[in-house]
Amino acid sequence: MVTSAARRGFAALDRLNDRRLGSDGFAALIYHRVGQRSDSAVDLPLDTFRRQLDYLGEHTDVVSLDDALQRGDPSVDGRPTVVLTFDDGTSDWVDIVQPELVGRAMPATFYVATDFVDRQLRWPNDGQPITWAGLVELASNPGFQIGSHTHTHRVLALATGQVTTEELSRANALIGEHLGRPARHFAYPKAIAPSAAAEVVVRRTYGSGVLAGNRANTPATDRHRLGRHALTVGDDMDDFAAKIAGGRRLEGWARAHRDAWKAKRTT
């Protein structure tokens, strides 16, 4: 996790050279868990999540990933356009996240690593995996979409084309079997950029691919390298407001480079 001191420094530099999201682009947010059932930095307190959703409802247009990618015209009211995404696949998606989104009529894309669902494997920090029944429930909502996050949550920074094909094929087969429809969108595990060979496979398999980097997306953005803003327990409402407006890019740059370095040392 980027330290609080580093985050404050990046935020100050961002404010000096801040190019805000225009009305013809969108910011995508990365959530993981909600409910603070663990000490994970990505396990947000429910009250924090509610405040963020209420802020989004008041100040932004929350749209589905498909709608964001298909929009050719600027936002009609000039408000920032935001896409909500969730990575990994934990049980709070059903019993905590779902009712909060449904109550506000907000769409979202949920990227799931299928091995954790299929074998009910715990995530780090004792994360309870979502079940197939839970994913079926989410998928029954027309505002929710289930995307792929590989099968085993394997980082693809050094993956070969064959390994990537095996990961995606297994994930797609399970999603199709249990949900009755294929996954059309993909999130790179840990939001780390892929090897060239892995990227070829992702591009021919899915309609989009998302990373991180705290980068906003414009009509010119490569839809297989979409930027997202990661949210953690260390973000206050000023951080949140900056991120949905396309800010905090230096923090995202630092996190992306740190994660890529760690991946190459451990993969």
Note the pLDDT of residue 44.
Answer: 98
Question: 126: which residues sit within 8 A by CB, 6+ positions away?
Answer: 37, 38
- Please report, as a single letter, which amino acid is at residue 192: I
Query: What whole-number distance in Å separates Cα of residue 106 and Cα of residue 56?
Result: 10
**CB pairs under 8 A, 24+ apart, for 3-10?**
4/234, 6/251, 6/254, 7/234, 7/239, 7/251, 10/248, 10/250, 10/251, 10/254
Q: In terms of pTM, does the model score above 0.95?
A: no
Note the pLDDT of residue 1.
Answer: 47
Q: Is the pLDDT of residue 229 over 90?
A: yes
**Ranges of each domain in the chain:** 4-112+126-145+209-266
Question: Tokens standing for 112?
Answer: 């799931």
Note the pLDDT of residue 216.
Answer: 86
* 186 φ/ψ angles, rounded to the nearest 5 degrees: -135, 140
Separation in Å, CA 112 to CA 63, 98, 149, 155:
20, 15, 5, 14
Note the pLDDT of residue 250.
Answer: 58
pLDDT band (50, 70, 90) for residue 18: very low
List pLDDT tens digits, range 27-63. 999 999 999 999 999 999 999 999 999 999 999 999 9
List pLDDT tens digits, range 61-88. 999 999 999 975 445 567 889 999 999 9
3-state helix, strand and coil shares in percent for the chain, rounded to the nearest 5? 45, 20, 35
User: In 10 A of CB 170, how many CB atoms?
Assistant: 17
Question: Tokens standing for 194?
Answer: 């892929």
Q: How far is residue 154 CA from its own chain's centroid? A: 16
Query: What whole-number distance in Å separates Cα of residue 146 and Cα of residue 167?
Result: 16
List pLDDT tens digits, range 121-153. 999 999 999 999 999 999 999 999 999 999 999
State the residue for tokens 């998928």.
139
Class of 4-112+126-145+209-266 in CATH? alpha beta
| Of the candidate ranges 9-23, 59-73, 84-98, the one whose mean pLDDT is the lowest | 9-23
Q: Is the pLDDT of residue 262 over 50?
A: yes
Q: Is the pLDDT of residue 99 over 80?
A: yes
Note the pLDDT of residue 213.
Answer: 85
- Stretch 247-254: mean pLDDT, rounded? 58
Q: Is the pLDDT of residue 20 over 70?
A: no
List pLDDT tens digits, range 102-111. 999 999 999 9
List pLDDT tens digits, range 155-201. 999 999 999 999 999 999 999 999 999 999 999 999 999 999 999 99
Note the pLDDT of residue 79.
Answer: 86
Q: DSSP readout, 47-100?
A: HHHHHHHHHHHHHSEE--HHHHHH--S--TT-PPEEEEEEEE-BTHIIIIIHHH
Burial (CB < 10 A; 0-12, 13-18, 19+), residue 16, is exposed
Note the pLDDT of residue 255.
Answer: 57
Query: What whole-number distance in Å separates Cα of residue 15 and Cα of residue 36?
Result: 30
Question: 8: which residues sit within 8 A by CB, 6+ positions away?
Answer: none
Question: Tokens standing for 66?
Answer: 């498909």
pLDDT band (50, 70, 90) for residue 5: low
Question: Tokens standing for 232?
Answer: 């953690």
Query: What whole-number distance in Å separates Cα of residue 143 and Cα of residue 108?
Result: 7
